[in-house]
Amino acid sequence: MQDTIYQFEHKQGVVQKIDEDTRQLVKALSTGTPIIISTVQKFPFVTETIEKLNEENGDRGVGLSTKGKRFAVIIDEAHSSQSGETAMEMKYVLNKHGIEEAAAKYALENDEDDEDLVIRSMLKRGRQSNISFFAFTATPKYKTKHLFDEPGETGEAPFHKYTMRQAIEERFILDVLKNYTTYETYFRIVQSAEDDTHVERKKAARALARFLSLHPHNISQKTEVIIEHFRASVQHKIGGRAKAMVVTDSRLHAVRYKMSFDTYIKDNGYTDIRTLVAFSGTVEDPDLPGKKFTEVGMNNGISERELPEQFDTEEYRVLLVADKYQTGFDQPYLHTMYVDKKLSGVKAVQTLSRLNRSATGKEDTFVLDFRNTREEIFEAFKPFYEVTQAEELVDPQQMYRLQAQIDEKQVVYENEVTDFCAVYFAPKRKESVHDHSKMNGLLDLAVERFKALDEDEQEELKGLFVNFRNMYAFLSQVIPYQDSDLEKLYTYLRFLLTKLPRRATGPAYHVEDEVELEYYRLQKISEGSIDLSRGQSDALKGPSDVGTGKASDDEIPLSELIDMLNERFGTDFTEADQLFFDQIEAEAKSDDNLRQAAKVNSMADFMQIFKKMFEGLVIDRMEGNEDIFGRLMSDPEFRGLAQDNLGHKLYRVLAKETMSEEDQIKLLISKNESKTLEFKETFSVDVKKGTKEKYIEKAALKSLGAFLNSEGGELLIGVKDDGTVLGVDDEIEKFYKNEDKYLLNFKNHIKSKIGEGFYPLIDYKLVDVDGLKVLRVGCGLANTPCFIEDTEFYVRSGPSTDMLEGKRQYEYIQGRFK
């Protein structure tokens, strides 16, 4: 959307793309730029950035007044993440004046002056009178409907509708359900082992379904059906340019399908069909011990970035995927989809809609589904075919019922919640270096009481906590609770949930040695159109106030479970995929543009280039991976940490391959100081006095601690702020006699002042630069908070180092390290 809006004809200064940092956003807001294009993730740092700019510039600082101003916020996808904490901070920035006025009034009326920050936190969740939101979505959720449903003067909902039905009738998109064929798998499994082991029903059912789906005979039969159907009925479509996608159940399924496809094509001498495969990370096949498979390797060296472009050529006609390219992939010649994966709800709509793009000569589409029934696909699509209805807004009293249920469990104590929030919401002037330990200590009391419960009680209570957290984050935006006790409990539970122990899931079952496939038949069951115009769709359901815990799994004999599955097959289960960063790294290393960027840029500039590439590499991997995807979407710090860690690692590797260390340092100096780069004239000497001073040493250590706590970075000692190389030769000769003693002193300071545990993350080396010695110190990203001398916590903010205390320190640590 950023590129689309910016390309519209406009005068200079009317539109500002925020493609640098938060300072750029602050400048645009403070100068009244009419149209600002930014990610929502920058808004939580606006207030802090304004404070920093004012400290740096004094009377020439910036101000941001929202009094009398109105804002229109246009959102490219109205998903439920708009209810997150980041979105709340955006509301506060754009209506700071109104929220502070309302907070002062509330505090006065309720005699709660000391809770001013709690009240602001509460008030910024609701609808703001000076902000209008406009958003787009093809698959609205229950929360989306209610967050944006603010009827106008006529009482009508403020939704402009361009339905799927209308888009199909006007030929804007194609009807992907017009030609839908389903197959059914008939089989019989027999038990080969003599012992009739007792197993947990659900886990073993999944294992048996996986055994069948990965069985060589199953995959080979489906391979034959797909290839022969494609050659006979698809490849001549769209003027001979039609393509197909095979949606598989997991990464291992994709690997086996790719091998099966290649074998079948070779054995039959076909030259008119070639395939590509898409999956993340490295896959090890238990049937082929010692062998590892990657996407690039199976595609004969085609990189992940090149894959969409290669698939667009006439050479490749079929793409096999495992949780990739099922959302957002735009290939107009994609005509047919072969589905061997359970699909439901929004996921089904998004996946099958890859076919709906129109193109010259494209008259229809086709789906062949091995796993889903026509009724299941109908149920998935129907709510989004015409006007999507949602149930009435849930009862506002649900929050108080949940609060009462939590109180009854006697794990969360009101006084501890109050004490926690007193520290968390303390004004900046009252913050101290001990706040982090105080808040953790209060949370630990509840954690110990939680651990004393049995497993079932723990799961039930955790369900109540999660429900309260999620429901309050949603309802507080549409219902003006104005209850500071609810806000406090919400804040407390957000952090408590991060510390609660997780329930052990137990070992997975491996049934390959205990069962055999005796009988198998693949048969076409139905074909034709799935008519979405018939019947009524159910309204989208809202959240419940009932606590959710994990249902217990009863044990049954394996033989009994096999009999049940033989009667009814179709278990909905897919393997979680959490291994994708290794392939990102390998792909990035092979990218010529990135290698060149490492050669001619500082780390900071390189990171700006890599961040844009990183998003393109991982966006598809996020889908289908609930743990990582959810964390990446809701936690900008987590995404930033993963991105920065990999980026810094790549820079060091690629830069060393292309440049000498002397040239690297010269390049760094030419780029000036930044968030990831700082210069110091000496490590320990006050240049004006000519004496060793502890405060000089501490200044360098503070910078290293800040790098560790932020995004990593490099410190060049022996370089002035203006980039002049002074070297540390005189410092070494006068106070340390030789280089070894100088480096030993530096090492001892790191270990004693920063900590033994952080020493492996710090690389340092004396490098000759134009005949002078410069100490180059590189810092990685720490996994735990780094406190200088065990008390002071520093982070990088632009080219400067800042100490965080109190609430700011606690929030930063929770976001960066939890």
Is residue 109 located within the same domain as residue 73? yes
What is the domain count for the chain? 4
Separation between Cα atoms, residue 650 and residue 671, nearest integer Å: 19
Task: Look at residue 567 and tell me whether its pLDDT is greater than 60.
Answer: no
Please write the tens of the pLDDT for every residue from 616-668: 565 544 444 444 444 544 455 556 656 766 777 777 777 766 667 888 888 88
Which residues partner with 542 through β-bridges?
A: none
Eight-state DSSP code of residue 773:
E
Residue 630: which residues within 8 A CB-CB, separation 6 or more?
A: none
Separation between Cα atoms, residue 246 and residue 277, nearest integer Å: 9
Q: What does the pLDDT read at residue 606?
A: 75
SS3 sequence of 4-37: HHHCCCCCCCCEEECCCCHHHHHHHHHCCCCEEE
Separation between Cα atoms, residue 56 and residue 540, nearest integer Å: 51
pLDDT band at 193 (very low <50, low <70, confident <90, very high): low
Domain assignment present for residue 476? The answer is yes
The whole-number average pLDDT for the span 754-761 is 82
Q: What does the pLDDT read at residue 717?
A: 96
Is residue 117 located within the same domain as residue 216? no
Backbone φ and ψ of 808, nearest 5°: -60, -40
Is residue 156 located within the same domain as residue 65? yes
Is residue 277 located within the same domain as residue 137? no
Of 504 and 254, the structure prediction assigns the larger pLDDT to 254
Greatest mean pLDDT among 150-164, 176-190, 288-302, 377-391: 288-302
Task: Look at residue 298 and tell me whether its pLDDT is greater than 90.
Answer: yes
Eight-state DSSP code of residue 243:
E
Separation between Cα atoms, residue 719 and residue 672, nearest integer Å: 11
Task: Look at residue 157 and tell me whether its pLDDT is greater than 90.
Answer: no
Of 555 and 72, the structure prediction assigns the larger pLDDT to 72
Is residue 191 located within the same domain as residue 159? no
Q: What does the pLDDT read at residue 620?
A: 46
Of 53 and 699, the structure prediction assigns the larger pLDDT to 699
Q: What does the pLDDT read at residue 509?
A: 52
Buried (b) or exposed (e) across 101-112, using 16+ Cβ within 10 A? ebbeebbeeeee
Q: What does the pLDDT read at residue 633?
A: 47
pLDDT band at 95 (very low <50, low <70, confident <90, very high): confident
Q: What does the pLDDT read at residue 685?
A: 93
Q: What does the pLDDT read at residue 332?
A: 93
| Domain harbouring 322, CATH code | 3.40.50.300
Separation between Cα atoms, residue 570 and residue 341, nearest integer Å: 10
Of 272 and 482, the structure prediction assigns the larger pLDDT to 272
Separation between Cα atoms, residue 444 and residue 463, nearest integer Å: 19
pLDDT band at 97 (very low <50, low <70, confident <90, very high): confident
CB 702 within 8 A of CB 788: yes
Decide which of 169, 200, 234 is a domain's last residue.
169
Separation between Cα atoms, residue 587 and residue 304, nearest integer Å: 7
Task: Look at residue 383 and tell me whether its pLDDT is greater than 70.
Answer: yes
Task: Look at residue 549 and tell me whether its pLDDT is greater than 70.
Answer: no
Q: What does the pLDDT read at residue 658?
A: 62
For the chain, percent of residues with pLDDT exceeding 90 = 33
The whole-number average pLDDT for the span 397-412 is 90
Separation between Cα atoms, residue 433 and residue 424, nearest integer Å: 13
Separation between Cα atoms, residue 783 and residue 684, nearest integer Å: 28
Please write the tens of the pLDDT for every residue from 55-83: 777 656 677 888 889 998 887 766 544 55
* Vertex 347 angle, CA 539 and 537, to 5°: 20
Separation between Cα atoms, residue 711 and residue 801, nearest integer Å: 12
Q: What does the pLDDT read at residue 392?
A: 63
Of 296, 282, 299, 279, residue with least CA distance to 590: 296
pLDDT band at 316 (very low <50, low <70, confident <90, very high): very high
Domain assignment present for residue 234? The answer is yes
Please write the tens of the pLDDT for every residue from 413-465: 999 999 998 888 877 666 666 777 888 899 999 999 999 998 889 989 999 99
Of 39 and 574, the structure prediction assigns the larger pLDDT to 39
The whole-number average pLDDT for the span 492-500 is 90
Task: Look at residue 199 and tell me whether its pLDDT is greater than 60.
Answer: no
Task: Look at residue 376 and tell me whether its pLDDT is greater than 80.
Answer: yes
Q: What does the pLDDT read at residue 114?
A: 45
CB 363 within 8 A of CB 391: no
Is residue 125 located within the same domain as residue 190? no
What does DSSP say about strands 318-321 and 198-200: parallel, antiparallel, or unpaired? unpaired
Is residue 727 located within the same domain as residue 625? yes
The whole-number average pLDDT for the span 92-102 is 84
DSSP per-residue string spanning 185-228: EEEEEEE-SSS--EEEHHHHHHHHHHHHHH-HHHHHHHHHHHHH
Separation between Cα atoms, residue 231 and residue 220, nearest integer Å: 17
The whole-number average pLDDT for the span 116-122 is 76
Of 598 and 59, the structure prediction assigns the larger pLDDT to 598
Instruction: Indicate the length of the chain as a whole number.
Output: 818
The amino acid present at 329, given as its one-letter code, is F
Counting other chains too, the contacts that 308-313 makes at CB distance below 8 Å and 24 or more residues apart are 310/276, 311/243, 311/276
Lowest mean per-residue pLDDT among 122-131, 572-581, 594-603, 763-772? 572-581
Backbone φ and ψ of 659, nearest 5°: -140, 155
Task: Look at residue 697 and tell me whether its pLDDT is greater than 70.
Answer: yes
Q: What does the pLDDT read at residue 98?
A: 85
Is residue 703 located within the same domain as residue 731? yes
Decide which of 384, 419, 434 is a domain's last residue.
384
Is residue 161 located within the same domain as residue 213? no
Residue carrying the six token digits 């097959």? 569
Decide which of 496, 516, 535 is a domain's last residue.
496
SS3 sequence of 571-638: CCCCCCCCCCHHHHHHHHHCCHHHHHHHHHCCHHHHHHHHHHHHHHHHHHHHCCCHHHHHHHHHCHHH
Domain assignment present for residue 337? The answer is yes
Domain assignment present for residue 359? The answer is yes
CA separation, residue 310 to residues 313, 314, 328 (Å): 5, 9, 17
Residue carrying the six token digits 């984050």? 473
Q: What is the C-alpha R_g of the chain?
A: 30
Counting other chains too, the contacts that 656-661 makes at CB distance below 8 Å and 24 or more residues apart are 657/595, 657/598, 658/595, 658/598, 658/599, 659/599, 661/765, 661/767, 661/776
Domain assignment present for residue 576? The answer is no
Residue 301: which residues within 8 A CB-CB, separation 6 or more?
A: none
Task: Look at residue 396 and tell me whether its pLDDT is greater than 80.
Answer: no
Q: What does the pLDDT read at residue 179?
A: 92
SS3 sequence of 777-812: EEECCCCCCCEECCCEEEEEECCEEEEECHHHHHHH
Is residue 68 located within the same domain as residue 137? yes
Separation between Cα atoms, residue 456 and residue 477, nearest integer Å: 32
Residue 690: which residues within 8 A CB-CB, separation 6 or more?
A: none
Domain holding 406, by residue range, is 398-496
283: exposed, middle or buried (Cβ count in 10 Å: 0-12, 13-18, 19+): buried
Residue 253: which residues within 8 A CB-CB, separation 6 or more?
A: 213, 214, 219, 322, 340
Joined together, the tokens standing for residue 113 give 């002056």
Q: What does the pLDDT read at residue 572?
A: 28
Of 95, 144, 77, residue with least CA distance to 633: 77
Joined together, the tokens standing for residue 627 give 């743990």
| Domain harbouring 620, CATH code | 3.30.950.30
Domain assignment present for residue 802? The answer is yes
Lowest mean per-residue pLDDT among 41-45, 416-420, 421-425, 778-782? 41-45
Q: What does the pLDDT read at residue 729?
A: 94
CA separation, residue 633 to residues 40, 41, 79, 327, 802 (Å): 12, 10, 11, 15, 27
Taking all residues of the chain, what is their mean pLDDT, rounded to a whole number? Answer: 80
The whole-number average pLDDT for the span 800-811 is 87
Domain assignment present for residue 505? The answer is no
pLDDT band at 240 (very low <50, low <70, confident <90, very high): very high
CB 299 within 8 A of CB 276: yes
Is residue 200 located within the same domain as residue 162? no
Domain assignment present for residue 709? The answer is yes
Is residue 335 located within the same domain as residue 443? no
pLDDT band at 127 (very low <50, low <70, confident <90, very high): confident
Which residues partner with 152 through β-bridges?
A: none
Of 162, 159, 139, 161, residue with least CA distance to 150: 159
User: Mutual orientation of helices 96-110 and 85-94 as an angle, nearest 10°?
Assistant: 100
Q: What does the pLDDT read at residue 630?
A: 46
Buried (b) or exposed (e) across 120-141, using 16+ Cβ within 10 A? bbbbbbbebeebebebebbbbb
